[in-house]
């Protein structure tokens, strides 16, 4: 089931349903794009055609951010749960180990992807790690990097370059890479590596992870300033209906 929010079709699936859907995409042997959409991305898509097109090209869109969950409810089309990039990445890596899927991590500061990979291999023995690369590559290095990833033939390609840069990168290269199912995961490598502390489970359960992260990282305030603008767009379009 899909719900339409501000011109974007969001998949209203639970986590396990999402993992099964991704497994089907991977097993098809064709390239696919997964978008974990948050309010900032959806707001930007209202004003930039190239960003809206990224959403329209996605094979699967999950609601990443309580703001998206709230907006869907307000529009009268509730989604089952919030599915963040970090949570989805961990569930897919857990599934990858017994399935034998090859996993590639691209992004983060130098050393972060490697640290995250080591943690994942410890947590999920037997994980088939195809490779890692940081996200600070130069333009003249990109062609060789893409060629290398293509040769490694990952089933899952996690790209942590920040939105929308990671989605733009995926859009530019996914067909050339070929068989990978690619997903932008933002700062997930920082969390998995342990460089950034994630909100405690109880904070996530009451949907206040955004506030916890803001208190820990005040630099996020500029990004958070978009949220009232996003809320106004939603209220103006859908009113105050609560499903």
Question: What three-state secondary structure class fits 100?
Answer: coil
DSSP 43-79: HHHTT-HHHHHHHHH-SEEEE-SHHHHHHHHHTT---
Q: In Å, how far are 24, 29, 88, 94, 127 from 101, measured between CA atoms?
A: 12, 11, 15, 10, 8
Locate the domains of the chain by residue range.
2-238
Q: 145-181 pLDDT, tens per residue?
A: 999 999 999 999 999 999 999 999 999 999 999 989 9
Confidence of residue 209 (pLDDT cuts 50, 70, 90): confident
Q: 77-93 pLDDT, tens per residue?
A: 889 899 999 999 999 99
**Which pLDDT does position 243 carry in this prediction?**
45
Name the β-bridge partners of 191: none
Which are the contacts of 82, defined by CB distance < 8 A and separation ≥ 6? 63, 64, 65, 66, 68, 69, 207
For residue 9, the 8-state DSSP code is E
Q: Is residue 129 a contact partner of residue 103, using CB atoms and an 8 Å limit?
A: yes
Which phi and psi angles does 145 have, rounded to 5°? -60, -45
Both structure tokens of 65: 């951010």
Strands of the sheet with 102-107, listed across from one edge: 60-63, 32-37, 181-184, 156-160, 102-107, 128-133
User: Which bin fits 33, alpha (ψ -120 to 50), beta or left (φ > 0)?
Assistant: beta
Q: 48-88 pLDDT, tens per residue?
A: 999 999 999 999 999 998 899 999 999 988 898 999 999 99
Which are the contacts of 123, defined by CB distance < 8 A and separation ≥ 6? none
The helix (H) or strand (E) run that includes residue 122 is: helix 112-123
ω into residue 164 within 30 of 0, thus cis?
yes
């Amino acid at each position: 089931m899909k719900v339409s929010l501000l011109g974007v079709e969001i998949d209203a699936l639970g986590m396990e349903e999402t993992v099964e859907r991704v497994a089907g995409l991977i097993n098809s042997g064709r390239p696919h794009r997964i978008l974990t959409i948050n309010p900032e991305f959806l707001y930007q898509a209202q004003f930039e055609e190239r960003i809206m097109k990224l959403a329209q090209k996605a094979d699967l869109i999950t609601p990443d951010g309580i703001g998206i969950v709230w907006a869907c409810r307000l529009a009268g089309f509730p989604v089952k749960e919030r599915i963040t990039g970090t949570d989805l990445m961990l569930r897919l890596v857990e599934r990858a180990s017994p399935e034998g899927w090859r996993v590639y991590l691209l992004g983060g500061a130098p050393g972060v992807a490697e640290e995250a990979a080591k943690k994942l291999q410890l947590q999920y023995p037997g994980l088939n790690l195809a490779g890692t690369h940081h996200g600070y590559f130069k333009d003249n290095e990109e062609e060789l990097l893409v060629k290398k990833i293509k040769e490694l033939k990952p089933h899952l390609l996690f790209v942590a370059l920040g939105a929308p840069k990671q989605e733009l990168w995926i859009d530019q290269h996914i067909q050339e890479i070929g068989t990978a199912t690619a997903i932008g995961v933002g700062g997930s490598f920082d969390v998995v590596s342990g460089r950034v502390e994630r909100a405690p489970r109880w904070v996530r359960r009451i949907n206040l992870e955004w506030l916890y992260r803001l208190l820990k990282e005040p630099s996020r305030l500029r990004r958070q300033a978009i949220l009232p603008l996003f809320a106004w767009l939603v209220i103006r379009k859908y009113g105050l209906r609560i499903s």
